[in-house]
């Protein structure tokens, strides 16, 4: 099937969303267990104690939860503050949060800590940029304490839809920023997979929402495939994606190809497939690529392929570089729970 298809359904009793591009599974979102704070959730937290030597601060969340704020200098214990979850915590660690809040929808992002109105640089049409700024001023009035960014999705959106989005996010931000209280509390829950699909994925060519849509489009079998480490690549090469407690190891193999260029071909194919594999498996943290043997002169080609592959990836990924043993390292934000945890904890 050609084009972009979004499928909204449930799996193992949890909301789930999948995106297929030209018949290939490109992204997968599955709701986290209810006891895990979701990235984007907003809490009123209470400062607990600074961690000497680490420059951060632990916070108290509702129901005995703990959070970690990196920039905690000057905040006295017992101080209430509004924070936003930035990712999932590793087992036994506090939830990472930030005090720099973002109120994000499909067309607009409201930024309480960054006043001013801006338009995404991806929107290059000057007339459309001016039109969007005019809508922002009409809805929000003169720039004040709440900043606003018009996202790239607004370029082709209906003006009324953009205006509605701006008004909703401005109202939500004003209410949360104005919240008062001294005890930890959940102020706004994080988005579920269906909301994230609408908010962040490109406009699909078609969408399937009927009950059982995952089974009807063969997604259950594809998700079963994600539980296995081996991924077949074009040309007979393959990779093995294996998470450990410390890192995610990606082993690249040439398969039956014995040609002189087999290593480079396998490595390039692995790099192109890797972002989708990491997204769908929910893997982050340190990623180590054990590449197939190739001449040192081909490293620049691989680096260019890596940059191109991760440029469009929505999860922040740092290309750290080569190790002395010839491995390549990435550092990836933990925005998602591993698939083994979401499905393993399913009711």
The string of pLDDT tens digits covering residues 94-108 is 999 999 999 999 999
Q: Which two tokens stand for residue 310?
A: 């991760």
Tens of pLDDT along 247-277? 999 999 998 887 889 999 999 999 999 999 9
Checking if the pLDDT of 110 tops 50, the result is: yes
Strand duo 248-253 + 285-290: pairing: parallel
Q: Hey, which of 52-66, 244-258, 296-310 has the most confident mean pLDDT?
A: 296-310
pTM above 0.85, yes or no: yes
Tens of pLDDT along 113-156? 889 999 999 999 999 999 999 999 999 888 888 999 999 999 99
**pLDDT tier for residue 346 given thresholds of 50, 70 and 90:** very low
CA distances from 127 to 86, 119, 132, 154, 155 (A): 35, 12, 9, 13, 10
Checking if the pLDDT of 293 tops 80, the result is: yes
> CB-based contacts of 207: which residues, under 8 Å, 6+ apart?
5, 6, 7, 8
- Location of structure tokens 């006891």: 35
Q: Which helix (H) or strand (E) holds 78?
A: none
Average pLDDT value for the chain:
93
Full 3-state SS string of the chain: CCCEEEEEEEECCEEEEEEEECCEEEEEEECCCCCCCCCCCEEEEEEEEEECCCCEEEEECHHHCEEEECCCCCCCCCCEEEEEECCCCCCCCCEEEECCCCEECCCEEEECCCCCEEECCCCCCHHHHHHHHHHHHHHHCCCCCCEEEECHHHHHCCHHHHHHHHHHHHHHHHHHHCCCCCCCEEEECCCCHHHHHHHHCCCCCEEECCCCHHHHCCHHHHHHHHCCCEEECHHHCEEEEEECCCCEEEEEECCCCCCCCHHHHHHHHHHHHHHHHHHHHCCCEEEEEECCCCCHHHHHHHHHHHHHHHHCCCCCEEEEEECCCCCEEEEECCCCCCHHHHHHCCC
Residues 327 and 289: beta-carbon distance below 8 Å: yes
Checking if the pLDDT of 55 tops 80, the result is: no
Average pLDDT over residues 65-84: 89
Q: Is 56 helix (H, G, I), strand (E, B) or coil?
A: strand
Checking if the pLDDT of 61 tops 50, the result is: yes
Average pLDDT over residues 316-333: 96
Tens of pLDDT along 147-202? 999 999 999 999 999 999 999 999 999 999 988 899 999 999 999 999 999 999 99
d(CA 101, CA 208): 33
| pLDDT for residue 347 | 45
**pLDDT tier for residue 345 given thresholds of 50, 70 and 90:** low
| pLDDT for residue 12 | 87
Give the gyration radius of the chain's Cα atoms. Answer: 22
Q: Which two tokens stand for residue 57?
A: 């601060």
Checking if the pLDDT of 82 tops 50, the result is: yes
Fold (CATH) for 227-344: Aminopeptidase (3.40.630)
| pLDDT for residue 101 | 96
- DSSP annotation of 335: -
Residues above pLDDT 90, as percent of the chain: 81
| Nearest partner of 195 among 96, 279, 104, judged by Cα | 104
| pLDDT for residue 92 | 78
Domains of the chain, by residue range, sit at 4-31+194-216, 42-100, 103-179, 227-344
d(CA 315, CA 276): 11
Class of domain 42-100: mainly beta
Q: Is 103 helix (H, G, I), strand (E, B) or coil?
A: strand
| pLDDT for residue 190 | 95
> CB-based contacts of 175: which residues, under 8 Å, 6+ apart?
none
Residues 169 and 103: beta-carbon distance below 8 Å: yes
d(CA 181, CA 168): 23
């Amino acid at each position: 099937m050609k084009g972009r298809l979004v499928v909204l359904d449930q799996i193992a009793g949890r909301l789930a969303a999948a995106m297929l591009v030209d018949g290939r599974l490109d992204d997968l979102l599955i709701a986290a267990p209810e006891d895990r704070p979701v990235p984007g959730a907003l809490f009123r937290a209470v400062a607990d104690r600074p961690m000497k030597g680490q420059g951060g601060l632990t916070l108290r969340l509702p129901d005995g939860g703990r959070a970690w704020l990196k920039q905690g200098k000057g905040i006295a214990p017992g101080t209430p503050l509004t924070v936003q979850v930035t990712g999932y915590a590793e087992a036994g660690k506090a939830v990472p949060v930030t005090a720099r809040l973002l109120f994000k929808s499909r067309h607009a992002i409201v930024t309480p800590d960054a006043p001013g109105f801006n338009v995404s640089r991806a929107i290059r049409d000057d007339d459309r940029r001016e039109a969007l700024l005019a809508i922002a001023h009409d809805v929000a009035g003169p720039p004040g304490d709440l900043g606003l960014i018009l996202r790239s999705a607004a370029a082709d959106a209906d003006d009324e839809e953009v205006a509605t989005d701006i008004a909703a996010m401005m109202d939500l931000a004003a209410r949360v920023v104005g919240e008062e209280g001294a005890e930890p509390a959940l102020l706004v829950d994080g988005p579920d997979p269906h909301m994230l699909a609408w908010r962040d994925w490109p406009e699909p060519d078609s969408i399937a929402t009927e009950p059982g849509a995952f089974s009807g489009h063969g997604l259950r079998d594809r998700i079963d495939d994600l539980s296995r480490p081996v991924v077949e690549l074009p040309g007979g090469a393959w990779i093995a994606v294996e998470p450990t407690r410390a890192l995610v190891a990606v082993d690249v193999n040439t398969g039956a190809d014995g040609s002189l260029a087999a290593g480079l071909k396998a490595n390039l194919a692995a790099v192109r497939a890797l972002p989708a594999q990491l997204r769908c498996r929910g893997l982050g943290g340190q990623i180590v690529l054990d590449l197939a043997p190739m001449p040192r002169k081909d490293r620049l080609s691989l680096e260019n392929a890596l940059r191109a592959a991760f440029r469009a990836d929505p999860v922040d990924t740092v290309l750290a570089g080569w190790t002395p043993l010839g491995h390549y390292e990435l550092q990836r934000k933990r925005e998602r729970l591993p698939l083994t945890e979401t499905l393993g904890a399913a009711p």
